[in-house]
Amino acid sequence: MSRDLIIDPVTRIEGHAKITIQLDDDGNVEDAHFHVTQFRGFEKICDGRPIHEMPSLMARICGICPVSHLVASAKACDEILAVEPPPTGVDLRRLINLAQVAQSHALSFFHLSSPDLLFGFDADADGRHLMGVYQENPQLARDGIAVRRFGQQIIESVGGKRIHPSWVVPGGVDAPLTAEKRDEILAGLPEAKAAVERTLDWYKTSLVRWEEEAAAFGDFPTAYMGLVSPEGNAEYYDGALRVMGSDGSMLADLDDPRPYWQYLGEAVEPWSFLKTAYWKELGYPEGVYRVGPLARAIVADRFGTSRADEELEEFRSRVGRVPSSSFHYHYARLIEITHSLEMIEVLLNREFILSPNVRARAAVNRREGIGIAEAPRGTLIHHYQVDDQGTVEWANLLIATGHNNMAMNKGVLQVAKRYVKGDRLEEPMLNRVEAVIRCYDPCLSCSTHAIGQMPLQVRLVSADGSVLHELTR
C-alpha cells in the first residue's frame, strides 16, 4: 500500500507551501513534491491596466523583493516607450536593486537559515529559531540586523518607501539622488561591510560541520543560468544571459536574451500553482537548471569587485568551479552581499551620480516589451503586450522560483530518500526536507501577512485517505 507523508505548511520560507513525500509498498520514498498552495493570478490582474501603472503594480508581487520586480517591469516599459534611460537613471536603478539583493540575502541567511546553521539540523525545534540565534550568538544576530537594516535604509532613502517604493519608473527613476542621501549611505557602508566579513569568517569556519548535509542537500548535476556583463562579471540589471552546463560547458551566452520563448519552456503541473520553467533544448522534465546566488557565482567569470572576487576564488577552491550541491547557495549568498555593498560604493562615487538627468519621457511607441533583471533569488523576465493606448492586453512573468522549481523538487526527493525511514516522521528529517527548500530561498509571495501561528503540520496518509500519523509543531 503506497502512502503519503505531507509537510504542511513549510516554515521559514517566504510564502505558503507544503511538501508531500510518497512512500511505496515497502515504506521507501518513491516520489516527493513541493506544492505551492497559494494562487495570486498576477498575469491576469495586469490585463486592462495602463502601462504606466505596471512597475508599481508588479512590485506588489512580493514584499521582500519588490524592487527587482520594479526594475524588470520598468525595463519592459522602457521598450514599450522605446526610450533609453539616462546613464544616471540606470546607475540609480542598479543601486536600489543591489540594496535589495543585500537586504533580501540578509533576511534569507540570518533570519531564515542561520538557526539551522548555528544549532545544527538535529537540534530541537524549540530552540532552533531566530530568537535562539539572538541568545546563542548575539554578534551574528547583530550583524544580520545591521546588514538587512542597511539595505532597507538605502531603499527607503532613495526610493521613498522601505517596501514597494515607486521611484523606479518607465524611462528611468522619478527623482535624482541628493548629496545628503549619497553621503548618508556611504557613511553606513563600513559597518555593513564589517558585518558581512565577520559572517563570512564564521560561515567558512563552520563549513566543515555540514559536509554531510552538503552532500545530500539537492546535490545533483544541473545547468545554471544568470546575467553577465560584457566583461563576464556577474550582472544584476542587464547584460547577456549565460547558461552553463553541470560540467562547466557553455550551453548558451545570449547577448539578446529577450526572446526567452526560444530557449525556455514553461510547464504546468496539477499539484502546484507554481509554473515550471525548463531549458528547451533538453526538454521537459530533463531541462533542469538553477538560478540565483549559486548560479550567478558559477556562470560569471568573476564578480568584478575586489573583496567579492577574493571570496569567489576561495569559494571555488573549497567547493569547485561548478558545485552541484544546493547547500552552497548559502555561501554564494554571503559573497553576493559583499559584492552588492562594494558595487553600491562604486556607483555612489561615480562622477555623475547626482545628475538631475535621470528619466527619459515618451508616449507608447511599441506594442511589446520584455524586461530582464536579476532578483536576489534569480532571473526575472517580465513580458507585456499593449494596445496603441498603452493598455496591457497580455502579460507573462517568469520568476526566479519558477526557474528553480524542478531543482527544488529534485532536492526534496533526494533529502527524503536519504532521511525518511519507515512510516514515522522524525524532527531531524523534517528539518532537512524544509532546509533544502530554504537553500533556494523561494519567494512564493510575502505580500500577505500571516495571522497567528504558522504550525508545521505533517500528515501520513494511507492510499485510502485515512490519516495514519500526524505531527504538529
- Residue 179: CB minimum distance to other proteins, A: 22
- What are the residues whose beta carbons fall under 8 Å from the beta carbon of 183, sequence distance 6 or more? none
Nearer to other proteins, 60 or 316 (CB): 60
Of residues 7 through 26, those in contact with other proteins by CB under 8 A are 12
Please work out the total of residues on this chain that contact other proteins, with binding judged by CB under 8 A.
Answer: 22
Q: How far is residue 449's CA from residue 215's CA, in Å, rounded to a whole number?
A: 35
Nearest distance, CB of residue 125 and other proteins, angstroms: 8
Rule CB under 8 A: say whether 145 interacts with other proteins: yes
CA 141 to chain centre: 22
Among 82, 194, 454, 463, binds other proteins (CB under 8 A): 454
CB of 49 or CB of 142, closer to other proteins = 142
Q: Does 149 bind other proteins (CB under 8 A)?
A: yes
One of 142, 204, 316, 418 touching other proteins (CB under 8 A): 142
Interface stretch with other proteins, choices 143-151, 254-262, 340-348, 420-428 (CB under 8 A): 143-151
User: Which of 1, 26, 39, 135 lies at the binding interface for other proteins (CB under 8 A)?
Assistant: 135
Residues 6+ apart with CB under 8 A from 362: 81, 82, 83, 171
Smallest distance, other proteins to C-beta of residue 224, A: 31
Nearer to other proteins, 117 or 291 (CB): 117
The phi and psi torsions of 400 (rounded to 5 degrees) equal -55, -45
Which set of grid coordinates corresponds to residue 143?
550583524
417 binding other proteins? (CB under 8 A): no
Kindly state the smallest distance separating residue 111's Cβ from other proteins, in Å: 6
Q: Closest separation between CB of residue 155 and other proteins, Å?
A: 12
Taking residues 101 to 130 in sequence order and writing x for each that binds other proteins by CB under 8 A, - otherwise, the string is: ----------x-----------------xx
Nearer to other proteins, 160 or 320 (CB): 160
Rounded CA gap, 225 and 243, in Å?
4
Q: Report, in Å, the least distance between residue 347 CB and other proteins.
A: 23
Q: 392 forms bridges with which residues in the sheet? A: 386
State the Cα–Cα distance between residues 224 and 44, nearest whole angstrom.
30
- Do 379 and 227 touch, CB atoms closer than 8 A? yes
Task: Give the nearest distance from C-beta 463 to other proteins in angstroms.
Answer: 35
Question: Minimal distance in Å, beta carbon 219 to other proteins?
Answer: 29
Count of beta carbons in the 10 Å neighbourhood of residue 366:
13
Residues 161-190 that bind other proteins (CB under 8 A): 162-163
Binding site for other proteins (CB under 8 A): 12, 111, 129-132, 134-135, 138, 141-142, 145-146, 148-149, 152, 162-163, 449-450, 453-454
